[in-house]
């Protein structure tokens, strides 16, 4: 048996090695100091790293750990305890928090503020940030923070820990607690936040205090990631060598690869020349200072590589750490990440394969992860990251520790928000304030990239949060001219009284395939896509009709898109029926598009899939209104459809008012005035009373927390705390409202079957890490009601007991439509791959 240190932090079962608590605390401290240095809070980072597990110096914890490992025997050792019954009940996080609080609180206002920031991070590092003033129904108005700092010593063992702790840890802690620089660093940061928000006319307390809360979450992120990395490196040392830890291939090399690729793309068509001009404008704009910029380019203008050109040059110039692309749909990530990977990870540099571009979209495990599952979670440690808006928002506002762990990676970065018009309306103010914080305080540059720019910067939003754009924010010198030059389609308003039946839409599509050779139908619901497909498939050859929806895993969609593109390239007849996943950023070029009535921004994006490469003969976009459509759970589409009709009616009366372009800048601005600003009451992320016991919103919970504070004041007195946010309540509400999805691994094709078999038989964590990354390509995210149906049908099984990583029975995956809540037909079952039950 290996020697056991006097105070242990972790045990490695594989070779019976122990990690000394001193080694863990100093290791986490060094990493947290490094991460927090991005905000010039290195001393606070070091302090919370040293004290986060300070309670593990207690005899209670050491006995619990050794009993769990089996070092203490129930029959032979009097100290033995039933570790299973004590799991999660031995408090080892409060002691360090109390040590900070007792040392700093009361020495002055800024000392008390620093004490609360650091204590919050330490006390919360297993649960997720706790509420300062509770806002949930059970504890409404309770001062949860002060209660935690007053927890009895017999439960937290602070006095014992201070008596027996390693002298080196104690000495450095006391040195940091006495260092005025620790206070000055935080004071300077909070002053800058207050000044920046106060200097903008109309900015209110909500934006300022939300950003104060983001300071706490940023520091919390540094601690969580440091703790997870140090623990994983000890428990699985073979994985440590695979961590780049910020040491990446240089920006000049990546820039050279991109420029070489662009030089090898000679302009063959008129539109290619325009795309090159757009790319050159982005190249030149990279010399601008940090800030928040807009890149407004019509669909088909080559934004993907143009924005990458800006990002690489800008990151090199400002010596930034990484580039993060935030994408609304996984379908765009599938395409864009692959295109960029082929450029930045070329075959002639095999040592860089898999080391430059990281895709992170969709989660395979529930938010409430086990410790083992948390170790498998990635932390965006890569030079170029592609992720989703959902994952980005989770890193800033979600509950628990998984998303929060990544937040510090958003500093010193270029953040490109592709198709930013798809930002969920409830998140507008939260997003705006957070983006301002990342640009102004975290040294990041932000690019809002779209053909249909929403008005996130409008002054009418300032009271609760408007984006503060750079002085010369638009990267393109002549947006209006670009829209005129890139007008490639004729838009036909085909709305009619009573609407179009599915059969009529199918017949129009079939006729257009016969006339023009290719047609794309974009609908608003999966059921409409299936019904129109079924009707049209009776009249078309099986190789000429395709279906696309999010019920298909990314690998499946990639395969189908490849077939679609091949037929388009060979100009073979083709009809594709898809949900809206195909309309934003997916590189396909149809002669005709039929779009179900939706928001004007969605229609404009759909038009971007038509005549994308600018053939002389314009493409045709038909806008049709379906006879019947159930949009009960698709409120954004429903409201967008209504507001689009207003603009379309106005356009029909006076097209000159919109420069004779229904999809031009004037029409889109008018649409957003109807849609965006008429929904201002929805932009603070409302939380209904059924969730909390009282009506509230996330912006309030994460800033001034007015209702809960008023309740506390009415019962007692005004709380004597600077931070009053209900962090945990807000995080849980964010997930409850956002209808969290569960990732399910599906047995698509032989590769999907093999992957599931490997997951079921793998025992090595580092192999599971790689398998879970691969599994993202074979994952379908389902909403709770779909998950329930699948469970009731017996269609799901775990890869291993108690992992909660779910796989789908092949009888419920269609080679044509993807995941189904009912068994697919016998013929499809024979075509589908098989997997263990």
Q: Which residues pair with 450 in a beta bridge?
A: 296
The per-residue pLDDT for 131 is 97
The per-residue pLDDT for 736 is 57
Query: Do 31 and 230 touch, CB atoms closer than 8 A?
Result: yes
* Count of all residues that appear for the chain in the document: 837
The per-residue pLDDT for 374 is 37
Q: What is the dihedral of CA 751, 756, 757, 763, to 10 degrees?
A: 130
* Nearest residue to 378 (alpha-carbon basis) of 393, 364, 368: 364
Instruction: Collect all residues with Cβ–Cβ distance below 8 Å to 503 and sequence separation of at least 6.
Output: 535
Residues of the chain with pLDDT under 50: 201-203, 363-377, 827, 829-837
Q: What is the dihedral of CA 673, 674, 677, 681, to 10 degrees?
A: 180
The per-residue pLDDT for 517 is 96
For 225-252, letters b (16+ CB in 10 Å) and e give bbbbbbbbbbbbeebeeeeeeeebbebe
Distance CA 484, CA 481 (A): 5
- SS3 (DSSP) at 15: coil
Alpha carbon 430 to chain centroid distance?
14
Instruction: 178-184: list long-range contacts, CB under 8 Å, 24+ apart.
Output: 179/43, 181/43, 182/43, 182/44, 182/47, 182/114, 183/110, 183/111, 183/114
The per-residue pLDDT for 361 is 64
Cα dist. 528→159, 629, 790 in Å?
Answer: 66, 8, 21
Alpha carbon 837 to chain centroid distance?
32
Please give the model's pTM, rounded to 2 decimal places: 0.87
Q: How confident is the prediction for the chain on average, in pLDDT?
A: 89
Task: Tell the burial category of 317 from Cβ atoms under 10 Å away from its Cβ (0-12, 13-18, 19+).
Answer: middle
* Nearest residue to 431 (alpha-carbon basis) of 195, 748, 766, 685: 685
The per-residue pLDDT for 94 is 97
Query: Do 704 and 326 touch, CB atoms closer than 8 A?
Result: no
Per residue in 216-241, pLDDT (tens digit) is 999 999 999 999 999 989 988 877 77
Per residue in 631-690, pLDDT (tens digit) is 877 888 898 999 999 999 999 999 999 988 999 888 998 998 888 777 888 999 999 999
Q: What is the CA radius of gyration of the chain?
A: 28
* Nearest residue to 392 (alpha-carbon basis) of 356, 354, 355, 418: 418
Per residue in 147-203, pLDDT (tens digit) is 999 999 999 999 999 999 999 999 999 999 999 999 999 999 999 999 999 855 444
- Residue 618 sits at φ, ψ, to 5 deg, of -65, 150
- Residue 241 sits at φ, ψ, to 5 deg, of -70, -15
């Amino acid at each position: 048996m290996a020697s056991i240190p006097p105070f242990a932090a972790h045990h490695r079962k594989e070779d019976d090695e122990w990690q000394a608590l001193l080694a863990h605390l100093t290791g986490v401290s060094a990493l947290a100091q490094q991460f927090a240095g991005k905000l010039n809070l290195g001393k606070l980072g070091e302090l919370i790293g040293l004290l986060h597990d300070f309670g593990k110096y207690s005899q209670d914890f050491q006995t619990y750990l050794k009993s769990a490992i089996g070092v203490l025997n129930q029959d032979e050792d009097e100290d033995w305890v039933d570790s299973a019954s004590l799991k999660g009940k031995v408090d080892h996080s409060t002691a360090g928090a109390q040590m900070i609080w007792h040392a700093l609180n009361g020495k002055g206002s800024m000392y008390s503020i620093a004490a609360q920031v650091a204590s919050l991070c330490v006390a919360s590092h297993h649960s997720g940030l706790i509420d300062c003033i509770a806002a949930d129904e059970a504890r409404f108005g309770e001062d949860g923070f002060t209660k935690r700092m007053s927890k009895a010593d017999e439960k937290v063992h602070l006095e014992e820990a201070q008596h027996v702790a390693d002298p080196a840890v104690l000495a450095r802690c006391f040195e940091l607690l006495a260092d005025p620089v620790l206070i000055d660093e935080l004071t300077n940061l909070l002053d800058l936040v207050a000044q920046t928000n106060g200097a903008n006319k109309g900015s209110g307390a909500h934006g300022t205090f939300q950003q104060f809360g983001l300071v706490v979450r940023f520091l919390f992120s540094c601690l969580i990631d440091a703790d997870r990395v140090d623990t994983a490196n000890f428990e699985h040392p073979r994985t440590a060598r695979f961590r780049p830890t910020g040491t990446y291939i240089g920006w000049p090399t990546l820039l050279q690869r991109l420029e070489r690729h662009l030089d090898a793309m000679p302009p063959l068509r008129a539109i290619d020349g325009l795309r090159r001009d757009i790319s050159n404008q982005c190249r030149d704009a990279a010399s601008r200072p940090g800030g928040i910029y807009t890149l407004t380019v019509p669909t088909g203008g080559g934004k993907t590589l143009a924005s990458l050109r800006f990002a690489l040059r800008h990151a090199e110039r400002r010596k930034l750490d990484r580039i993060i692309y935030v994408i609304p749909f996984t379908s765009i990530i599938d395409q864009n990440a692959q295109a960029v990977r082929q450029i930045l990870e070329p075959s002639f540099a095999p040592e860089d394969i898999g080391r430059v571009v990281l895709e992170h979209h969709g989660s395979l495990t529930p938010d409430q992860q086990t410790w083992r599952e948390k170790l498998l979670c990635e932390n965006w440690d890569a030079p170029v990251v592609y992720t989703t808006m959902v994952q980005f928002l989770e890193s800033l506002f979600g509950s628990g520790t998984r998303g929060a762990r990544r937040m510090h990676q958003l500093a010193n970065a270029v953040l490109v928000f592709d198709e930013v018009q798809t930002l969920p309306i409830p998140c507008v103010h939260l997003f705006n304030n957070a983006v301002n914080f990342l640009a102004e305080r975290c040294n990041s540059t932000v690019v809002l990239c779209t053909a249909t720019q929403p008005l996130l910067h409008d002054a009418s939003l300032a009271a609760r949060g408007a984006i503060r754009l750079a002085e010369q924010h638009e990267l393109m010198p002549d947006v209006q001219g670009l829209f005129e030059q890139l007008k490639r389609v004729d838009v036909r308003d085909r709305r009619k009284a009573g609407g179009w039946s599915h059969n009529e839409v199918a017949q129009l599509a079939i006729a257009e395939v016969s006339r023009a050779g290719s047609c794309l139908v974009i609908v608003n619901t999966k059921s409409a896509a299936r019904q129109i497909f079924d009707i049209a498939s009776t009249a078309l050859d099986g190789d000429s009709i395709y279906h696309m929806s999010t019920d298909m895993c990314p690998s499946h969609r990639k395969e189908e898109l490849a077939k679609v593109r091949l037929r388009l390239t060979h100009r073979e007849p083709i009809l594709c029926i898809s949900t809206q996943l195909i309309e934003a950023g997916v590189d396909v070029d149809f002669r005709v598009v039929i779009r179900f009535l939706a928001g004007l921004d969605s229609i404009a994006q759909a038009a971007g899939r038509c005549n994308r490469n600018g053939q002389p003969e314009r493409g045709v976009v038909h806008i049709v209104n379906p006879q019947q459509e159930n949009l009960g759970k698709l409120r954004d589409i429903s409201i967008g459809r209504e507001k689009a009709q207003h603009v379309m009616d106005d356009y029909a009366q006076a097209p000159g008012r919109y420069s004779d372009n229904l999809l031009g800048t004037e029409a889109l601005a008018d649409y957003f005035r109807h849609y965006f600003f008429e929904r201002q009451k929805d932009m603070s992320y409302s939380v209904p009373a059924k969730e909390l016991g009282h009506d509230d919103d996330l912006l309030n919970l994460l800033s001034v927390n007015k209702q809960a504070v008023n309740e506390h004041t009415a019962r007692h007195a005004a709380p004597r705390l600077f931070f009053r946010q209900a962090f945990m309540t807000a995080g849980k509400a964010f997930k409850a409202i956002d209808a969290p999805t569960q990732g399910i691994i599906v047995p698509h094709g032989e590769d999907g079957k093999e992957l599931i078999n490997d997951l079921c038989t793998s025992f090595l964590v580092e192999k599971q890490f790689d398998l879970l990354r691969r599994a993202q390509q074979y994952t379908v995210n389902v909403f709770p009601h779909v998950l329930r149906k699948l469970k009731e049908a017996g269609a799901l099984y775990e890869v291993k007991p108690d992992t909660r990583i779910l796989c789908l029975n092949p009888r419920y995956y269609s080679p044509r439509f993807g995941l189904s809540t009912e068994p697919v037909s016998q013929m499809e079952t024979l075509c589908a791959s098989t997997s263990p039950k």
